[in-house]
Amino acid sequence: MTEVNSPPRPGGWTRFVTARPRLSLLVALVLTALAVLAGSGVADRLGSGGWEDPAAQSTYATKALEREFPDSQPNLLLLVDAGRASVDDPAVAARARGLAGRLAGEKGVTGVGSYWQSRSPALRAEDGHEALIAARITGDENAMARTLDRISPRYRGAHGPVQVKVGGIVAVRHEMQTIIKEDLTRAELIALPITLVLLVMVFGSAVAALLPLGIGIVAILGTNAVLRALTSFTDVSVFALNLTTALGLGLAIDYALFIVRRYREELSTGADPLTAVAATLRTAGRTVLFSALTVAVSLAAMMVFPQYFLRSFAYAGIAVVLLAAAAALILLPAALVLLGHRVNSLDLRQLFRRGRDRGPDGGRAWARTAGLVMRRAPLFALGTTVLLMTLGLPFLGVKFGTADDRQLPSTAESHVVQDQIREGFPGSPGGGLEILAEGRTTGAQYAAYKQRVAALPEVVRVEGPLVKGDAAYFTVRPKGEAVGDAAQRLVGDVRALRPPFDTKVTGTAAVLVDTKHAIAERLPWAAVFIAVVTLLLVFLLTGSVLIPIQAVVLNALSLTAMFGAVVWVFQDGHLSGLLGFTSPGSVETTLPVLMFCVAFGLSMDYGVFLLSRIKEEYDRTGDHDAAVRHGLQRTGGLITAAAVILAVVMVAIGTSRVTNTKMLGLGIALAVLMDAMVVRSLLVPAIMRLTGRATWWAPAPLRRLHARFGLSEGEPAAPAQVREPAGV
């Protein structure tokens, strides 16, 4: 604990943030109000796609086909239901042709076609009671959404003898965007009051409990303004809003818990508020800054991937982490100076229980837990490792797929339309492969190429070519699922053909193949980036060679339960009825990458809190075992409380009706709880007991490097206090 006898005069950063606390808070209030204005309407400017690699062959082909052959890329489908009548009934056919004609005259709509024009069997249901009108809405995602909002009420519903439902990719994405916005508002309404109650129970003070919420709101509103600015020159995914809310509240609470707890600790020694703030910033403040850097590094790794879905989470995550840390290190100290001892006022816990305070500053139960674990270190180390690896086993059977309408609730109109098409239409319209052919070519060459494609084992039939100038396209109907294993093999087989003209393959299966390739190609770079920077940062914190390696390995191990649950629940469909989602039988390809980066960063956040306090005590006493016990005693309750509160926020996000958001929220909630309650509480003290004082060893050059550039929560130790591990 920091000594307060003859305290040094606050200087540097402390003087800067506490010199005019009222002015600091006023400026923050003004900037927050400006952020509200700057970030207003951000959700309406965000996209609902972003899973494709913009440099992939399939992306090039899709854009070329959209430009040259808009009929080949319909994104709007009108499902025309004739009830008990046949779609070939004259009255039904006349009304359907009229609808198609009206649709062709709509501004922003092109490439209108229908069963009644083409007589294509792919556009007619096998029972003969339903058929499709297909079209393409032009423009970017926001323009398409506006067009859909304008025209869909004119077509949805009853039209004489037929009923019409609106579907297609553009409808799926628009419904997804709308539902995410609605669900995010509901999640905030769920999370905020529960979080406030938990904070009151943790702090024992309504005043102290409001501080983390204030920091979180500042971080969230500031990040919304950042995202709004980014939409002016790059694509940003609407899913990023969920991460903004979750991390904004979660990390703000983490940082505020850590700083306020240390501040109250300093006050309890008799320090005046200004001295307590100075000591807090020299210790806990350094750790918060360090923790923010480690979380930001994990999130920054998503920048190496080309998909804007992943890059959006990097933008939002880095912004919210840095803003939460800045608010915790600038606004929170100013508020603490103004509050002084009043930070402990309004102890609402007395309304619910009697007896003395058992808040997070005691921790005797955690000290006993650490002692028990360290006495049985081999048993706890082996047992928790086996448990975590067992929970992760389902991930060995993961199947990667694409995000489609099954992300939406089963009652969503676009989901209903796509379900009816999957179940009732031959060949899954829109689910085949498209081949773009470019270059001067003869009809005979096209015919020969078509025969070669048709001869491939996974092909049902080949349609086309439709020729326009020096370009043409073919449609290939594969056997089985549109994105199944057979369709993915077919993509490779078609691309392996070498006709005398240039070809590019697109379609749902081709996009999935290209996305998987882009992820696999860049994943090692992201992993190396996270590992190397994490090793460096943890070394700067601890001065040890072994602890950074332990941190990376144990953090990765803490995520196994999350990945196992993702497959067991969301891919295999267990608990789908209870949780209210439709399992597509696969996991969207980018989701595990996103969940790893977010959960790894949060795991490092808790790891830094624990290691910094252990390091401080070890520097003070040189007693390794006592330092581990002390570190868990001082931070065990804090980390667990922070994890429970963050889990509440993530579970609130997980109540979303969109499956990917549900998976993200519930998966990360499980990860942070496993990390706090199993890894930090059991596995870390067991491993550190097994490695003993060798834990702190580093070669002389690295010790000198750490002495010059390292950071720690405690004051610099006198040389005599830091002991060399025995036998090293």
> Which DSSP string corresponds to 337-391?
HHHGGGGG---GGGGT--SS---TT--HHHHHHHHHHHHTHHHHHHHHHHHHHHH
Question: Is-contact 18 277, C-beta < 8 A?
Answer: yes
Mean pLDDT score, 537-553: 91
Residue 538, token pair as written in the block: 């943890």
Distance CA(89)–CA(112), nearest Å, equals 21
Distance CA(670)–CA(318), nearest Å, equals 22
Omega of the bond leading into 90 within 30 degrees of 0 (cis):
no
Distance CA(466)–CA(464), nearest Å, equals 5
Q: What percent of the chain has pLDDT over 90?
A: 42
Predicted local distance difference test score (pLDDT) of residue 2: 42
CATH code matching the domain that covers 12-46+175-340+366-401+515-714, chosen among 3.40.462.10, 1.20.1640.10, 1.10.3210.10, 3.30.70.270: 1.20.1640.10
Question: What pLDDT digit, counting tens, does each position of 51-76 carry?
Answer: 888 999 999 998 898 888 877 778 89
Consecutive H or E run containing 166: strand 162-167
Predicted local distance difference test score (pLDDT) of residue 19: 73
Mean pLDDT score, 349-365: 53
Q: Nearest CA to 602 among 569, 637, 559?
A: 559
For 263-303, what is the HEC assignment? HHHHHHCCCCHHHHHHHHHHHHHHHHHHHHHHHHHHHHHHH
Mapped onto helix, strand or coil, the DSSP state of residue 463 is strand
Distance CA(167)–CA(76), nearest Å, equals 6
Residue 355 scores a pLDDT above 50: no
Question: Is-contact 223 244, C-beta < 8 A?
Answer: yes
Question: Is-contact 147 95, C-beta < 8 A?
Answer: no
Backbone angles phi, psi at 544, to 5 degrees: -105, 150
Burial grade of 27 (CB within 10 A; 0-12, 13-18, 19 or more): middle
Mean pLDDT for the chain overall: 86
Contacts of residue 232, Cβ cutoff 8 Å, sequence gap at least 6: none
Question: What pLDDT digit, counting tens, does each position of 396-428 carry?
Answer: 999 998 888 888 998 999 999 988 988 888 765
Residue 715 scores a pLDDT above 60: no
Long-range pairs of 19-28 with CB within 8 A, sequence gap ≥ 24:
21/333, 21/334, 21/335, 21/337, 21/338, 22/334, 22/338, 24/330, 24/331, 24/334, 25/331, 25/334, 25/335, 25/338, 28/218, 28/327, 28/330, 28/331
What are the extents of the domains in the chain? 12-46+175-340+366-401+515-714, 76-167
Residue 626 scores a pLDDT above 90: yes
Predicted local distance difference test score (pLDDT) of residue 348: 58
Predicted local distance difference test score (pLDDT) of residue 527: 92
Predicted local distance difference test score (pLDDT) of residue 487: 87
Distance of CA 238 to the CA centre of its chain: 11
Question: What pLDDT digit, counting tens, does each position of 381-402 carry?
Answer: 999 999 999 999 999 999 998 8
Residue 638 scores a pLDDT above 80: yes
Predicted local distance difference test score (pLDDT) of residue 483: 78
Distance of CA 603 to the CA centre of its chain: 14
Mean pLDDT score, 664-674: 94
Q: What is the DSSP string of 311-337?
A: HHHHHHHHHHHHHHHHHHHHHHHHHHH
Distance of CA 156 to the CA centre of its chain: 34
Consecutive H or E run containing 416: helix 413-424
Question: Is-contact 640 677, C-beta < 8 A?
Answer: yes
**Helix extents (H) in 40-168:** 57-68, 90-104, 115-118, 141-155
Q: Classify residue 164 by its DSSP letter.
A: E
Residue 41, token pair as written in the block: 């309407």
Q: The pTM is what?
A: 0.86
Residue 624 scores a pLDDT above 90: yes
Burial grade of 114 (CB within 10 A; 0-12, 13-18, 19 or more): buried
Distance of CA 506 to the CA centre of its chain: 27
Residue 358, token pair as written in the block: 């058992």
Q: Nearest CA to 92 among 128, 127, 121, 126?
A: 128
Residue 349 scores a pLDDT above 80: no
Distance CA(607)–CA(631), nearest Å, equals 11
Q: Amino acid identity, residue 208?
A: A
CATH architecture type of domain 76-167 = 2-Layer Sandwich (3.30)
Question: What pLDDT digit, counting tens, does each position of 272-328 carry?
Answer: 888 888 888 888 888 888 889 889 988 999 999 999 989 998 999 899 999 999 888
Q: What percent of the chain has pLDDT over 70?
A: 92
Q: How do strand 400-401 and strand 157-159 relate by DSSP bridges?
A: unpaired
Mapped onto helix, strand or coil, the DSSP state of residue 658 is coil
Predicted local distance difference test score (pLDDT) of residue 727: 34
The Cα diameter of the chain in Å comes to 98
Residue 703 scores a pLDDT above 70: yes
